[in-house]
Structures are given as C-alpha cells and as structure tokens.
Amino acid sequence: MSMASSAFLVPFSEHSTSPPVFSLSNSNSNSHVRSFTASTNKSHHGSSGFYGGASFCHGFCGFKLRQPNRKFGLKHELKIIKNQDKDHSSNHIETTSSFQEQASDGTTIELGHVSTSKQSPTSLPQIHSSNSSDNVAGGPSLCIAVIGATGELARRKIFPALFAMYYTGFLPENIGIFGYSRKNLTDEELRSIIASTLTCRVDHQNDCGDKMDAFLSRTYYIHGGYDNREGMLKLNALMEHVEGGSEANRIFYLSVPQEALIDVASSLADYAQTSKGWNRIITEKPFGLNLLSSLRLTQSLLSKFKEKQIYRIDHLLGRNLIENLTVLRFSNLVFEPLWSYKYIRNVQIVLSEDLSAQPTRYFEGYGIIRDIVHSHILQTVALLAMEPPISLDGEDIRNEKVKVLRSIRKLKPSDVILGQYKAGTEEKVDVYTDNLTPTYFAAAMYIDNARWDGVPFLVKTGVGLIEHRVEIRMQFHHVPGNIYRERMGHNIDLVTNELILRDAPDEAILIRVNNKIPGLGLHLDSPELNLLYKDKYNVEVPDSYEHLLLDAIDGDSHLFMRSDEVEAAWNILSPVLQEIDKNNIVPELYELGGRGPIGAYYLWAKHGVRWAED
C-alpha cells in the first residue's frame, strides 16, 4: 500500500487547528444558504435498494443492553460526556465572534457570504440547497459524519444504528448527521435512501413517524467529488454552519475501501477537524492486509491523529457475548479461581454461518483470516484469557489484552486447516470462490504464560456450514480418581464439565454437570444447567453497531483495537499468510451445508480434543 509523503506529519490533537473554511452561498448569486429546519414531509419511502448480497460479517448482530440513565436530556445533551472525557484537551483555541477570517488564497470568509479576490487562483466550491433559513438556534454538541454514506454498510447498518440511538434517547435531539460520498445527491435524496432502511423498536411505536422526521431533518448531504481536500473543506463548512459557533464534538465514521482510507483520513485531519471540541475517527476492518500494510496504515493514521482519537471497529465485538466475558469472570467468585490450566482442559471458540449467509466480493478480496480471525477471533481469545485489569478503563483493559496477544505462539501451517466451500449442485453455482481465498479457518493456538500453559485454544470459523453457531465452550479436566467413573460409560469425554457461553442460535449460559437420574438404582446423566436469555430477559436487543457507536461517543475504547494489538495479531498470523501467498497451503474443499473440511477433525485429534458438537 503506497502512501504520499504528506501522510507523515505532526499528529493532530483532538483539538486540532481550525482548517480553512468557505461560504455557504455566493453573494453574487441567487443560491440560498442551506436550511436546517425540520421537514414537514412525512413520506419516507426511499427509491434506492440494496446492491449485492449481505456480507459474511452482516450475519452477526450484537447484543447490548443500555440503561435509561445514560440518555441525553434536551438541555444537557452531551455535556456530561464532554466533562468526563479524559482526552478533552486543555489548549482550547479561542474563536472569534465575527465568524470571519482570511484564507491563505486571499478569500475573505463570512458566515453566509464569500468574496474572492482576483488574485485567488481557484474559487472554492459552493454548497447548494433548495431550502433556506438562518442558522439553527442552539447548535448541536455532537456531529457525526459518515464518509461513504451511500455504501451498503452505511445504508444497512450505520444510519439505522444512529436512528435507533436517536429514537431511544441516546443521542441529543439536535444532533447533526452528515453524509459524505462521491455521488451527486441532494439532502432529500439521501434522506429518502436512509428512510427506506429505518425501523422503530417494537415496543415504542407511538411517535415513530415524528422521531423519524426529526432524525431525517437533522441529516445533511455533502457531495465530496473526487478531490477529498475540496470535499472535506465543504464538509467542515457545513458542519460549522450547523454548529452555529457553539462548542461541538465530531465523530467521523470512515466507511470507505481500504485503498482510499489513507487519503480520506489525511484530508479529513487537515481540513475537517474542529477546534471547539474533540475529534474521533472510526475505521472499519480489515486493518491492513498483512503486517507490512498494517504498519504503513497505522503509521499514516498516527501521523495525523493521536491513538486515543482512533477507534478501529469490528461489529462482531459488539455482541453481548463479548461484553459479558469480563462480567462473568471478574464478578463471580465461582469462576475466577477455575480460570487457568489447573482446571481448564481446552477452550473451543466457534463462529460459523450456514447457507443463509454467503460471502460477497468484499469477502473474496480479504478472506476469512483477514476479515474474521485477525480481529474478532483473536480479540475474543484476548478478552477470555487476559489477567484482571486494574480498572474498567479502556486503556487498562487494552493493556491486558495486548499482553495475551504477545504471548500467543505464532501459528504454524501444521496447526491450521483452511477450507473453501464448493457448489453442491448446479443450482448453487459458486461465483465467489474462483481463487484460493479461504472461507473456513480452524487452528489450535497456545498462550505461553503462567495461567494458560499447555491449554489448547481451538478455534473454527467459516461460512456455508451446517448451522449458524456462535459460542465459547470451556471444557474442564476430569475429576481425579472419580469414584463414579464406572457409571459414566466408556467415553468419559462426553460427561466432562463444561461452561458454555452461547450467542447463537439462542443466547444462553450453560453449565454441564453430572447428576443422578431420579429413581431406583444409580444412573448418571450430564444435563446442562441453563440461563436462556429469551426466557429470562424481556428486553430489546440493540444491534452491535449501536453498542459500539455509543462506546465511541462515550470514549470507551476497550472493544476497539489499539495499534499495538493490531500489530501483535498480525504477528500471530503472518507465518500462515506468507505460506498462503506462496501457494504452499491449499484450502481443502468442503460441501455447502456440511461440517467443514475433514482435516479439522484430524487437527482436533492431534491436540487431544473432540468437539462437543461431534
């Protein structure tokens, strides 16, 4: 991945220097200043549909329960968050009340008018709108810009998540939502696209239409064109106008292809950051394609932003299963003493998709290792195996996670099984696996530290398998000198104690124990004590994007990968990726709707493990 030399500059703080701005209308034209009044049109039937199939990652939706006391009030909005935010810089840059400054090219800038001198080599682009009004009274304290707003991810996940948060009170009522892309659209056209994907909670239907109207009226579009510098100048001008000179924080969600990320992030840093609050960027996985490209990407981002400004999002980490790992372990005395090699025989991590979710061409380009294993699987291992952090602060948790990642042995090709699904019938023609991109990954990992010495962490993930399953299964050692051994049958592995954390098909916590069957005689059974969430908790199930977006707003970084975590994860996978690139590892074909490659069973046997589901 190549980079321009301008990418390596002095890092911006969250209070960066104010970028150049320009007018919202030309004094010599009849174009109007953009309106920010609420629309009265209540028809929101979008004209655009979805392009292409859902990606493998789209099949996984996260769970996060939010407490109502975190909602924003009409007056306070995000002031609580701003006050508690640790990275709020003290070197606040004073702003003038005249809303006027002199640009470097000779352009005099005012709120609503621009007069360009004859010496100006270029004229800055204008922002047009069919509506007109004065600035919004009481500007928002938070603005969120979605870069790549017309892409499938933005339409299907990001905007619906933002509306769900707005609808349930977790975003300020006067928030500013901005869409930015290369397509030439109007505000109303973007709103129509977004409206077709929005839904309300099943138990809050009374004011759904009004809330949707209000949210859409707070949504604006910027046609960025193909010059990101020019586009970011326009974005900044519109955001400043909506903010109305008040203090406001900004989040930029970079939903853009990997090859465009560096240029977009660099232009954003130079021309779209605010000096009146904090700035944060959210980037999507994969975080590079290998160790080298990842280091280049990290170096480029850190040349423009501080680490605390960067939120690398993996929506699979927004599942309640992941969030509950530390809660279950560190808040229950019954589990913490057992959490080591002394009692745990092996750990099994499964993330599989059935025939309902097939990979798109995005997935073909990166494969399951770069898309799923590097982030989600290794982050799950790190959260499960880490030492107790000194607090729930994001940095304290990430400090412990990176220690685990650095302790995981580099994977050897002999400890990995790769697979690729093949078409089962002529009707299921496989158009995505015309190369060696793996759609299945299984491996045995070992953590070389005092807590987990010798315990295999067995992972498998793939698409086109027999069932959709997401779970963590911890199998315990057999009872030494078990006096009931003769009553347990020939296969003692079937009656081992287990702790099962299941996210799909039905979210549950299960503990397998040995128990006497009621009646005469002594007959043993191995039932599961279960906490089935759908029976116990009658609550809404937020999407994982809602969870992670709210964490980013709150400044909670523990579920977002830090730069050193990204590098440590690539170090684990690099030997296998290098062999794949040399075509020294060929994925084993498996039938659609099957259990995956046969070689995986030999791998489990090699490490003395039989999968419980088998």
- Residue 521 banded pLDDT, cuts 50, 70, 90: confident
Instruction: Mark whether 321 and 179 lie in a shared domain.
Output: no
Q: Let me know the angle formed at the C-alpha of 318 by 400 and 77, rounded to the nearest 5 degrees.
A: 100
Q: Tell me if 420 sits within 8 A of 433, measured CB to CB.
A: yes
Whole-number Å distance between alpha carbons of 417 and 495: 28
Instruction: Mark whether 265 and 323 lie in a shared domain.
Output: no
From 269, 284, 299, give the residue that closes a domain: 284
Instruction: Mark whether 209 and 276 lie in a shared domain.
Output: yes
Q: Tell me if 462 sits within 8 A of 419, measured CB to CB.
A: yes
Burial class (CB in 10 A: 0-12, 13-18, 19+), 49: exposed
Q: Let me know the angle formed at the C-alpha of 474 by 470 and 478, rounded to the nearest 5 degrees.
A: 150
DSSP single-letter state for residue 56:
T
Instruction: Mark whether 233 and 348 lie in a shared domain.
Output: no
Instruction: Mark whether 197 and 334 lie in a shared domain.
Output: no
Residue with tokens 């996210």, as numbered in its chain: 503
**Assigned token pair, 509:** 């916590």
Regarding pTM above 0.85, the answer is no
Residue with tokens 């309106």, as numbered in its chain: 35
The pLDDT of residue 80: 40
Q: Is residue 469 over pLDDT 80?
A: yes
> Average pLDDT over the chain, rounded to whole?
78
Burial class (CB in 10 A: 0-12, 13-18, 19+), 127: buried
Helix, strand, or coil here: 418?
strand
**Assigned token pair, 43:** 């028809």
Q: Output the domain CATH number for residue 496.
A: 3.30.360.10
Number of folded domains that form the chain: 2
**Assigned token pair, 539:** 């609550």
Highest mean predicted confidence (pLDDT) among 17-26, 92-101, 459-468, 602-611: 459-468
Which of the following is catalytic: 376, 468, 547, 558?
376
Q: Is residue 436 over pLDDT 90?
A: no
Q: Is residue 215 over pLDDT 70?
A: yes
Q: Tell me if 356 sits within 8 A of 468, measured CB to CB.
A: yes
pLDDT tens string 439-448 = 999 999 999 9
Instruction: Mark whether 254 and 399 lie in a shared domain.
Output: no
pLDDT tens string 375-396 = 999 999 999 999 999 999 999 9
pLDDT mean over 579-589: 89
Distances (CA, A) of 385 to 221, 403, 452, 604: 44, 10, 8, 20
Query: Could you tell me the maximum CA-CA distance found in the chain, to the nearest angstrom?
Result: 102
Whole-number Å distance between alpha carbons of 211 and 162: 12
Q: Tell me if 562 sits within 8 A of 397, measured CB to CB.
A: no
Let me know if residue 56 belongs to a domain: no
Whole-number Å distance between alpha carbons of 48 and 159: 15
Whole-number Å distance between alpha carbons of 438 and 463: 10
- Residue 612 banded pLDDT, cuts 50, 70, 90: low
Whole-number Å distance between alpha carbons of 473 and 83: 41
Burial class (CB in 10 A: 0-12, 13-18, 19+), 46: middle
**Assigned token pair, 494:** 């079937």
DSSP assignment of 469-531 equals: EEEEEEEEPPPTT-TTGGGG-S-GGGG--EEEEEEESS-EEEEE--EEPSSSS--EE--EEEE
From 234, 262, 284, give the residue that closes a domain: 284
Let me know if residue 296 belongs to a domain: no
Q: Output the domain CATH number for residue 205.
A: 3.40.50.720
Q: Is 113 a catalytic residue?
A: no
Whole-number Å distance between alpha carbons of 385 and 341: 11
The pLDDT of residue 342: 96
Instruction: Mark whether 336 and 405 lie in a shared domain.
Output: yes
SS3 annotation, 199-238: CCCCCCCCCHHHHHHHHHHCEEEEECCCCHHHHHHHHHHH
Q: Is residue 241 over pLDDT 90?
A: yes
Instruction: Mark whether 468 and 330 lie in a shared domain.
Output: yes
From 231, 266, 284, give the residue that closes a domain: 284
In which domain, by residue range, is 340 found? 317-541+563-607
Instruction: Mark whether 332 and 414 lie in a shared domain.
Output: yes
pLDDT mean over 501-526: 89
Let me know if residue 24 belongs to a domain: no
Instruction: Mark whether 498 and 595 lie in a shared domain.
Output: yes
pLDDT tens string 558-580 = 999 999 999 999 999 999 999 98
